[in-house]
C-alpha cells in the first residue's frame, strides 16, 4: 500500500516498507543526496531532516535523524530535506551566514547543520545564540573546530530577532521566517496541503507488529531486522500522549518526548532534574525519544529512569483487554532487560506525586563525553529538609547493577541526620556497599563502585555548596 506524504514542495508517495529508514528512502529511492549518510546510529547529525506534524493551529517542525526514522512515520507528514530549504535563485539566511563566516570546509556535514539550525528557528519564537548552539549539539564536524559554526548561528539569530507570532507552529511564524529569508515561500501553505493527504491504511500482516515509540535505540541496533516488520507507531496514539494534572499529581503520557518534557517545564519544581535533561543525548534524539521508551528499554543506565525513581514515579500498565494496573517505577525492573510487564501490556503513563516543600534535587552523570553519550554511572538524589535536617532522602543509581536501582539502604542511613560533609561520607559508603557493578567496556567494577561514591558526595555538594571540598575528600 502506498504511503502519502509531502516531500519539500511536492506531494509524493512510496511503497518502501514502513520499517525501512527514511535515510535510505531519501538517498536511494528519491535520489536526494544532500542528506548525508554518516554513522547510521544518530550520533553525527549528517542525515538530519525536518518532520512537520499537523496540529490544530498549524504545523510543528522538529529536526530528527533520518537514519533512525522509520518510513511509516512519514504518512500524512511533511518531510523537509536540505533541498527543500533552499530558495529559488539564492541562499537562505542560514546558508548565507555559513558561507560568509567560513562555517563550512569539506561540506559533508554542512547540510545537516543547516537543517538543524533551521529546525531551531522553526521551533522557537525567541531564538538566542546559546539556544542555536545547543540545537547544533547533535551535529559533528571534523573540519571547522565549531567556532565558525557558532559565529554563523549567532549571526543568524542576530539578523532574525524575535517572532511576533503567538505559536511556533502557527502560519504567522512561518510567514515571519519566510520574510526573514529563513524559509522558502511555499512553507505557509503546507498547513492546508497536509490536511488533504491520505493518512489512512494499515499494513496487512500475520506477524505481531513491533511496538515502536521513538525508535532511537531500536533502529540504531536492529534496523535491518525491522525493515520488513509491521510497526505499531505508539507516538501516534493520543491516549499515550500529553501532560496533565490529575488529583494533585502530574501524569505524563508514555509517548511524551524528551523535548516535550523540557518545553513543558514539568520537572522545573525539581530544579536540577529539569536542568539536566540536556544531558539526554542530542536535540535530534530528544525530538524523537520518549519517556516510555527510555523506561521500557530497561537500560541499567537510562537517564530518565534514574531521575524519576527518587520522585516516587508510578507506572500505569494497560492490557489489550483494557485491564489496568499500577506499580512503582523502582519495582518494574526484575533483572537485566527483564520487566514486570506481560506481553499483552503497554506502558500507558507515568504519574509523579506533587513535590514536597523544601526539596532539593541533584542529578550526576559521568560518561566519556558530557553530552551525547551514555553514562558509565549516573545517579539522582532528592532530599526533603527541615532546616539542616534530612527528613527523608531518595537516592538512585544506574550502571552499578543489572537494573537501575533505588538505593533504599543508603536513603535510610541518612534519614534524620544533618546535611553535612560527614553525612555525605556515610551516604557514599552505604551506596558503595549496596551496589554490585561488573567489569565492562565502561570501566571496572571497582571503578564504578568508587565513582558512585563520588557522585553521592557530589549530590550533597550540589544541594549545599557551602559544604565545600569537605564533601569531596
pLDDT in tens, 300-338: 999 999 999 999 999 999 999 999 999 999 999 999 999
CATH, residue 139:
3.10.20.30
| 391 and 275 part of one domain | yes
What does the pLDDT average to over 44-53?
Answer: 97
pTM: 0.93
| CA 39/CA 223 separation, integer angstroms | 13
CATH, residue 284:
3.30.465.10
In a domain, 219, yes or no: no
| 120 and 171 part of one domain | yes
Contacts 24+ apart (CB under 8 A), 295-299: 295/254, 295/329, 295/332, 295/347, 295/350, 296/213, 296/339, 296/341, 296/347, 297/217, 298/333, 298/336, 298/337, 298/338, 298/339, 298/403, 299/217, 299/374, 299/398, 299/404
| CA 429/CA 449 separation, integer angstroms | 10
| 181 and 261 part of one domain | no
| 57 and 177 part of one domain | yes
In a domain, 222, yes or no: no
| 8 and 149 part of one domain | yes
Cα angle 330-333-334, degrees, rounded to a multiple of 5: 125
In a domain, 232, yes or no: no
Of 350, 395, 404, nearest to 375 by C-alpha is 404
* The residue to which cell 565513582 is assigned: 451
**How many domains is the chain partitioned into structurally?**
2
In a domain, 226, yes or no: no
| 321 and 191 part of one domain | no
Among 200, 223, 251, residue at a domain's last position: 200
In a domain, 223, yes or no: no
Its domain, for residue 110, covers 1-200
Instruction: Summarize pLDDT for 438-452 with one digit per residue, the tens.
Output: 998 888 999 999 999
| 318 and 194 part of one domain | no
| 180 and 309 part of one domain | no
Q: What per-residue confidence (pLDDT) applies to 309?
A: 97
| 312 and 359 part of one domain | yes
Alpha-carbon dihedral sign for residues 201, 170, 185, 63: negative
Instruction: Summarize pLDDT for 222-262 with one digit per residue, the tens.
Output: 999 999 999 999 999 999 999 999 888 999 999 999 999 99
| 281 and 190 part of one domain | no
Question: What b/e sequence results for 222-238 when a residue is b if at least 16 CB atoms lie within 10 Å of its CB, and e otherwise?
Answer: ebeebbebbbebbbebe
- Whether the predicted pLDDT of 202 surpasses 70: no
| CA 70/CA 145 separation, integer angstroms | 32
| 298 and 390 part of one domain | yes
Amino acid at each position: 500500500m502506498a504511503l502519502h506524504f509531502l516531500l519539500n514542495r511536492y506531494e509524493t508517495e512510496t511503497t518502501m516498507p514502513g520499517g525501512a529508514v527514511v535515510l535510505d528512502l531519501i538517498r536511494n529511492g528519491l535520489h536526494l543526496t544532500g542528506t548525508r549518510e554518516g554513522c547510521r546510529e544518530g550520533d553525527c547529525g549528517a542525515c538530519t531532516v525536518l518532520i512537520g506534524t499537523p496540529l490544530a493551529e498549524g504545523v510543528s517542525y522538529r529536526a530528527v535523524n533520518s537514519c533512525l526514522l522509520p518510513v511509516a512515520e512519514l504518512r500524512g507528514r511533511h518531510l523537509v530535506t536540505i533541498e527543500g530549504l533552499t530558495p529559488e535563485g539564492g541562499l537562505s539566511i542560514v546558508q548565507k551566514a555559513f558561507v560568509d563566516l567560513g562555517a563550512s570546509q569539506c561540506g559533508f556535514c554542512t547540510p545537516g547543520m543547516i537543517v538543524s539550525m533551521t529546525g531551531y528557528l522553526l521551533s522557537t519564537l525567541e531564538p538566542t545564540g546559546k539556544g542555536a548552539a545547543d540545537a547544533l549539539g547533535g551535529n559533528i564536524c571534523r573540519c571547522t573546530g565549531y567556532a565558525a559554526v557558532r559565529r554563523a548561528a549567532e549571526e543568524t539569530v542576530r539578523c532574525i530577532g524575535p517572532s511576533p507570532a503567538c505559536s511556533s507552529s502557527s502560519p504567522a511564524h512561518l510567514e515571519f521566517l519566510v520574510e526573514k529569508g529563513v524559509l522558502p515561500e511555499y512553507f505557509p501553505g503546507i498547513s492546508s496541503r497536509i490536511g488533504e493527504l491520505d493518512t489512512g491504511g494499515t499494513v496487512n500482516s500475520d506477524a505481531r507488529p513491533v511496538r515502536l515509540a521513538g525508535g532511537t535505540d531500536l533502529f540504531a541496533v536492529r534496523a535491518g531486522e525491522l525493515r520488513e516488520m509491521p510497526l505499531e507507531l505508539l507516538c501516534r496514539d493520543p491516549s499515550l500522549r500529553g501532560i496533565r494534572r490529575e488529583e494533585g499529581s502530574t501524569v505524563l503520557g508514555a509517548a511524551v518526548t524528551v523535548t516535550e518534557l523540557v518545553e513543558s517545564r514539568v520537572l522545573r519544581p525539581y530544579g536540577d532534574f529539569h536542568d539536566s535533561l540536556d544531558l539526554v543525548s542530542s536535540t535530534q534524539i530528544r525530538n524523537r525519544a520518549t519517556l516510555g521508551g527510555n523506561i521500557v528499554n530497561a537500560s541499567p543506565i537510562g537517564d530518565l529512569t534514574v531521575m524519576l525513581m527518587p520522585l516516587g514515579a508510578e507506572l500505569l500498565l494497560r492490557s489489550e483487554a483494557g485491564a489496568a494496573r499500577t506499580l512503582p517505577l523502582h519495582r518494574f525492573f526484575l533483572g537485566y532487560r527483564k520487566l514486570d510487564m506481560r506481553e499483552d501490556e503497554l506502558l500507558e503513563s507515568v504519574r509523579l506525586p506533587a513535590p514536597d516543600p523544601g526539596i532539593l534535587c541533584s542529578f550526576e552523570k559521568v560518561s566519556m563525553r558530557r553530552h551525547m553519550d551514555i553514562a558509565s554511572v549516573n545517579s539522582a538524589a532528592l532530599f526533603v529538609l527541615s532546616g539542616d535536617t534530612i527528613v527523608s532522602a531518595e537516592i538512585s543509581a544506574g550502571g552499578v547493577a543489572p537494573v537501575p536501582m533505588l538505593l533504599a539502604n543508603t536513603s535510610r542511613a541518612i534519614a534524620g541526620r544533618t546535611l553535612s560533609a560527614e553525612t555525605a561520607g556515610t551516604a557514599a559508603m552505604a551506596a558503595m556497599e549496596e551496589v554490585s557493578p561488573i567489569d565492562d567496556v565502561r570501566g571496572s567494577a571497582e571503578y564504578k563502585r568508587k565513582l558512585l561514591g563520588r557522585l553521592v558526595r557530589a549530590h550533597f555538594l550540589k544541594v549545599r555548596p557551602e559544604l565545600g571540598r569537605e564533601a569531596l575528600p
